[in-house]
Structure 1
Amino acid sequence: MKKTLFTMTMGLGIMVLAAQQVRAGTCAPREDVMKRLTETYGETRRGIGIARQGAVMEVYASDQTGSWTITVTLPDGITCLVVSGQAYEATVEALPPNI
């Protein structure tokens, strides 16, 4: 139950953030956003997930600069920048068991 609630909350949160970004003007065709992330920041895709209503959430990061970006691509092909930052570090760790 807790896992389902968490998943639903995250999906809704991502969609709300994406809708806010559309109004803020930080959205563009997917090809344009991917080109900028790779050419300007050296970021590559590190993770992907499916959100509600067919949206796709992706995490991009650069090992060289430590920059990272989370994007949401809507079903119409528009990609919105949700958040970005510095000091990205890849980790591999076991998740705790569900309680």
Structure 2
Amino acid sequence: MKKTFFKMTMGLGNMVLAAQQVQARTCAPREDVVKRLVETYGETRRGLGIARQGAVMEVYASDQTGSWTIAVTLPDGMTCLIATGQAYEEMAEALPPNV
């Protein structure tokens, strides 16, 4: 029983450490993130919105490559990448009529 508990504890500890390392790689000061998106991927900001607790959500995309990134900047200035992908298309759909 003690061996099983020890293994479970070690496994949980490893998962926590891995999660912290992933977060460290996907979050950085906003200035650094924006610079990399512009210089490496040719992406520019296409939209933004205010999220909970004062966070700002931004969408970046490139017309040339079609790559896109969703980033969230926290009030402390740290920006975290939330999602990335390909085949970005800008759309301007008309609002549906009032029913």
TM-score normalised to structure 1 length: 0.73
The separation in 2 between residues aligned to 1:22 and 1:97, in whole angstroms, is 48
User: Which of the pair has the greater relative contact order for Cα pairs under 8 Å at 6+ separation?
Assistant: 1
Q: Which sections of structure 1, spanning at least 5 residues, go unmatched?
A: 1-19
Deviating beyond 4 angstroms after TM superposition, the runs of 4 or more aligned structure 1 residues are: 20-23
Aligned match of 2:66: 66
Aligned match of 2:53: 53
Aligned match of 1:40: 40
Q: Which has the larger radius of gyration?
A: 2
Structure 1 residue 24: Cα displacement: 2.5
SS at the partner of 2:84?
strand
Identical columns (%):
79
Structure 1 residue 95: Cα displacement: 2.7
**Aligned counterparts, 1:8-19, within 5 A:** none
Structure 1 residue 98: Cα displacement: 6.6
- Kept after mapping to 2: 8 A contact 1:21/1:81: no
Q: Deviations over 1:45-65 (max 9, x none)?
A: 000000111000000000000
Aligned match of 1:24: 23
TM-score normalised to structure 2 length: 0.73
RMSD over aligned CA atoms reads 2.2
SS at the partner of 1:33?
helix
